Amino acid sequence: MKSIFMKKSKTITRKQFLKAGAAGVCGLCLAGLSAGDGSAQSRSARSAGKGFVNPQKSSWFQELGDNNIECRLCPNKCRLEPGQRSVCRVRENINGQGYTLAYGNPALIQEDHVERKPFFHVVPGSRALSVSTAGCNLKCRFCEVWDMALVKPEQVYAYDMSPENVIAHARDAGLRAVSFAFGEPVVFFEYMTEIAGLARDAGMLNLVHSAGYIRSSPLKELCELIDAANIDLKGFDPEFYRDYVGGDIRVVLDTLVALKGSGVHIELTSIVIPTLNDQPARIREMCQWILRELGADTPLHFSRFYPLYRLSALPRTPVSTLDMARETAGEIGLNYVYVAKVTGHEGENTFCPGCGGKIISRLGFIIDQVKINDGRCGICGHKVPGIWV
């Protein structure tokens, strides 16, 4: 029986497609919530409601005495008195016990191309089931999904969906992977890891797109369950991270080094924001760090900024700036550098560093051709990093 969470295909114009790619996913994902035509989207919308459905005790809290507790998931180290919530809005002290309000309560369940995560070196052309909840442990002033990530669970429509139901849907739909993306997976850690364990048992890949703001112990546990991670490296200036992201860049860098050491496939996304983090010297410094600590074969996606949330007065990133960033990364020695959210740009394609040939052709999220055989360039045989089957 087909799950009620299955989304029907919907024809959109090129203008709508480009707008959706620029502005994030919430609009398209939640479009069905207002549908009134009796479609599958409308029926699934009627199963959604506001609020959290099944608060669960979490082992990621430490008791401090006097019914006070501290969350041990991320570097925010939120200390909570009874009734208080953490910075991420989905972790609460209830009568001296730490609870997650995100478990089984996804605000987003969406099937789409793995390239949209973005993963360009993970089974090109395949589809994944994306899962996310309300909440985030950072405060990005340029958040693309602020109406889901930077709000309380009571403020968004969400589903009551157990980990078993998530996997059943992905399996019934014939999907290759489960992806924890679009919101911040760290804040629904318990839900994510339980789903990931079931996905692994079912022979599916586990993909994570995260800001990487997590402590070492939960990260170690996560690394044992996931196959690939795309981490947002939102710039390379500690002051920018503090003022515009709400975090410490050193934590993100440590996360990347730990992921590399664990053997998880890593890709990076770096949004380029005019006047804030687009300085050529900083971009060069970041690329040098990636080369030194993660290696030349680490895929790097330079993402175009579009005005939104608290930075709506800034212009979108000029394509010339993205070209500069891509050229700088190439000069430093990075082999796989991409331009995101500029449909039709040459930087959407994958080129072999061995022979220079185009080995994966893309237009947006659509794959035209793949010239990779057994993880090697189909032209010259050069080894290409990634997950290809």
What does pTM read for this prediction? 0.88
Provide the pLDDT for residue 12.
34
How confident is the model over 99-151, as pLDDT tens digits? 999 999 999 999 999 999 999 999 999 999 999 999 999 999 999 999 999 99
Distance CA 41, CA 21 (A): 21
Give me the pLDDT at residue 47, please: 65
pLDDT score for 52: 73
Residues of the chain with CATH 3.20.20.70: 108-344
Alpha helices in 79-204 (DSSP H): 146-149, 163-172, 189-201
Helix axes 249-262, 216-223, angle to 10 degrees: 30
Strand order in the sheet with 177-180: 108-113, 127-132, 177-180, 205-210, 228-232, 265-272, 300-304, 337-340
pLDDT digits (tens, 9 = 90+) for 310-351: 999 999 999 999 999 999 999 999 999 999 999 999 999 999
One digit per residue, the tens of pLDDT, for the chain of length 389 reads 223 222 333 333 333 333 333 333 333 343 322 223 333 333 343 367 887 778 999 999 999 999 999 999 999 999 999 999 999 999 999 999 999 999 999 999 999 999 999 999 999 999 999 999 999 999 999 999 999 999 999 999 999 999 999 999 999 999 999 999 999 999 999 999 999 999 999 999 999 999 999 999 999 999 999 999 999 999 999 999 999 999 999 999 999 999 999 999 999 999 999 999 999 999 999 999 999 999 999 999 999 999 999 999 999 999 999 999 999 999 999 999 999 999 999 999 999 999 999 999 999 999 999 999 999 999 999 999 999 99
Residue environment code for 194-215, b if the CB has 16+ CB neighbours within 10 A, otherwise e: bbbebbbeeebbbbbbbbbbbb
According to the model, what pLDDT value does residue 50 have? 80
Give the CATH number of domain 108-344; options: 3.40.50.150, 3.20.20.70, 3.40.50.970, 3.40.50.1000. 3.20.20.70
- Residue 28 has a pLDDT of 33
pLDDT of residue 46: 39
Q: What is the pLDDT of residue 48?
A: 75
What whole-number distance in Å separates Cα of residue 157 and Cα of residue 171?
A: 24
